[in-house]
Structure 1
């Protein structure tokens, strides 16, 4: 890369080429995780597919590392690299709805909030994640789990078509009838097959308000509360997607002060079906024990999608997330999680037990690159903290949880909670997609024979 060829490259773009020293550079290189402080050589803020094509060609021809930034909600930091080129899709965030066909088309830079805002105008929702600032690109390419997962499946299950720029500079459309094998790989294979500039999703009608349960239990009742959740989750209907969260209570007015920053167990669930049925289906979560707070209510779906946004501020907090698919929640697993939550160095960290099953598990392992769906629960290990001086302690805690809980797991992990890929990209991919690994590797060889796109380039 030389000053002259970089200038010539910038002249090709309709969008902006941002370089070190430019006023926008520090903002452009920042991602959501405050730990990430990388210095790319150039950031191409693309205005359209032609800009993406030009940037891919520039990186390929100059043998430069290439990463992709979609919505920028990037826990692993892999959307940016030192001395590399970043394809920034944030300007390509348009969302279009075909209400008659129940389809939503969104640009690769769109966030969950962008999609929710437009789709809800038509009474529709796409199964996406839980924090509205999350980019749909990285979320979908890594799977995509949210409040509609048990009713309608993962985000990747509802991806019906995509437009892709490959490493060799081809524009491809992937659908069930056109390049179907590429679509298969995009459905939860982690990215790395090209730059997805546009996603087409299946959407579903949701009521004007959904029923939301949020119940806090004191720590002295944690064992019983977790055992109750285990039994309830086993028979809950598909309209419900829920969590049991081991946390430390936030300092909010609705929770008595003596419990602030103390360990708690939280039930969180959304019922996207009939309101009368929701009252019956969620009552076991609300009626159990003696909770310290019950913040349950009927809430507009778009608001539910934003409820946890304040808990995950961009650039301020520091994040390190891992995961394991659990074979069950026996008492030994529950006790291990309880003891580990008690020693969390940060009150912001959580151990999230995601209820799986429902529509999510009715997809055969070979139907998408995502792989096996048989585990009944996913454990999300979230180390969230503020002070850089606490980096080592919080990362060590998350890794300790991962090691201790491995004996209760299938061995598989969720690609969107990858830590910092410290065990190697291919190792994580093997654990995540299982028997689909060889097929996915063949696709990688076909569409990116020179390895321009690292796996992590798909996490944006």
Structure 2
């Protein structure tokens, strides 16, 4: 068995973060784009009277009515409580953060917001790319609604709406099972699921939302409903890819889980001069590979080593099977990789690696605010995305290479790059209208990410933004006008069509049925049908 060297490890959170894919992995990057959000007032039911005045005594009463904890600006806990993962949004100061511990707490908070016409924002992991997880009013924080019950024999797991992925993976793998989800360890299961849920097991087991069996939801009118294929089926449909924050607050999810104890991880690198040829071979291999193979192609700028062309991935099977598949890729490229690491791993260790936590414990793979042992650090990322349903022509591949060359040549830039995640497999065998997630014909998805440090000069921030915009525009002609809703982009003009495609009309009708007065809304929320 070839030995894995930490030198090949990539902290994918820093360049893409698939989410999934990812950063996820880079699938889901752990960062986000900046935009002022959640500062508008809720849209209440029509009323002939003005809302009562919101006083400190009313806030105090709210705190007394919660089983959880209310943190206000005068609390020593406030500065930490108001933070999202991305420091770009630290300037937004909520009036209060309610740490809910029960369904009743959520109902109490929604009633409070409605009574006083107060802006409110549900928050789970706090990873919204556009900062939609915070606002100036009441934050309904779900992170203490995080119980995880695993029924390995029955093939299900019921997970609280505020659970984080690292804790989900820990609980599942402890019972020898797994479900497909993202890679960023501190992402909340709620936003991930409702936006789709890209991950390294997706080609084998589908998206996170494809494995959802039922959900408990607190609606705008205070009702608590459980939806599945037979009960409230339209709401259940909308929660599977319609995006978070649109229809209600989900307090628990029940998922299908699969027995799995080990996988094989791989990472291969090629000299930068061969990046274009390597990608061209990869795009002809990865989307059509067996379901067991998930991979992404990474174009990365690196000040120390120079630009990198790399294929990372996960194979659901043993090392021999992975090597057989990878040899097909190497043969197509016709050039031996300069680095090649393939190693079998327990599933939890694999997820720690994908999270950028190789060599760390589960406790260390949390934020310090989540766990005293936590070593995950908040970071600034800005990102944009594309889906591609056709292979890239050479001009498109050259645009990717040129974008990294430009980033590499700017000595002021740190981190950043392009991560391209393979689709196909089980993901693409689901009909476009079977769930709200419409991107079922994609060959792969790209995420372009720029990173910089808190306190960087305005001109450096502007340069990162310019690089990101230019890269996206250069690739837009090769894309099909779609984007991943969990890589939510406040600068995207056609976001409704880009995120939801032909499913948009039905989503608007679901919204009209369950939230006709648009109580749950933000800058890119689904509007009710008129």
> TM above 0.5, one fold?
yes
| C-alpha distance 157-134 of structure 1, shift in aligned 2 (>3 A) | same
**Aligned counterpart for 1:319 among listed residues 372, 378, 381:** 381
CA displacement at 1:292 relative to structure 2:
3.5
1:220 aligns with 2:273: yes
| C-alpha distance 333-457 of structure 1, shift in aligned 2 (>3 A) | closer
Matches within 5 A, 1:14-33: 14-33=67-86
CA displacement at 1:47 relative to structure 2:
1.1
1:361-417 CA distance string (max 9 Å, x none): 011111011114112111111222224323222122112211111111110110011
1:380 aligns with 2:447: yes
Name the counterpart of 1:400. 470
| C-alpha distance 361-402 of structure 1, shift in aligned 2 (>3 A) | same
Name the counterpart of 1:253. none
Q: In 2, Cα distance between the equivalents of 1:261 and 1:28?
A: 38
Name the counterpart of 1:198. 252
Name the counterpart of 1:292. 338
Name the counterpart of 1:340. 403
CA displacement at 1:135 relative to structure 2:
1.1
Matches within 5 A, 1:128-207: 128-191=181-244, 192-206=246-260
1:410 aligns with 2:480: yes
Matches within 5 A, 1:361-372: 361-372=428-439
Q: In 1, Cα distance between the equivalents of 2:350 and 2:525?
A: 27
CA displacement at 1:282 relative to structure 2:
2.5
**Aligned counterpart for 1:69 among listed residues 123, 132, 136:** 123
Aligned partners of 1:190 and 1:456 also within 8 Å: no
| C-alpha distance 380-141 of structure 1, shift in aligned 2 (>3 A) | same
Q: Gapped runs of 5+ residues in structure 2?
A: 1-53, 358-364, 366-374
| C-alpha distance 105-437 of structure 1, shift in aligned 2 (>3 A) | same
Q: In 2, Cα distance between the equivalents of 1:236 and 1:196?
A: 35
Q: In 2, Cα distance between the equivalents of 1:302 and 1:66?
A: 36
| C-alpha distance 305-406 of structure 1, shift in aligned 2 (>3 A) | same
1:56-100 CA distance string (max 9 Å, x none): 11111111121111122333211101x211110111111111112
447-456 vs 169-178, which moves further:
447-456
Aligned partners of 1:31 and 1:314 also within 8 Å: no
Q: Gapped runs of 5+ residues in structure 1?
A: 251-259
SS, match of residue 295 in structure 2: strand
Aligned partners of 2:330 and 2:336 also within 8 Å: no
Normalising to structure 2: TM-score of the pair? 0.80
1:268 aligns with 2:312: yes
Q: Deviation above 6 Å: which 4+ runs of structure 1? A: 456-459
Q: In 2, Cα distance between the equivalents of 1:328 and 1:450?
A: 43
240-249 vs 223-232, which moves further:
223-232
SS, match of residue 79 in structure 1: coil
Q: In 2, Cα distance between the equivalents of 1:391 and 1:201?
A: 41
**Aligned counterpart for 2:106 among listed residues 41, 52, 70:** 52
CA displacement at 1:275 relative to structure 2:
4.3
Name the counterpart of 1:422. 491
1:113-161 CA distance string (max 9 Å, x none): 1111111122111110012221111111111100111111111111110
Q: In 2, Cα distance between the equivalents of 1:198 and 1:72?
A: 17
1:96 aligns with 2:149: yes
Q: In 1, Cα distance between the equivalents of 2:510 and 2:393?
A: 39
Name the counterpart of 1:391. 461
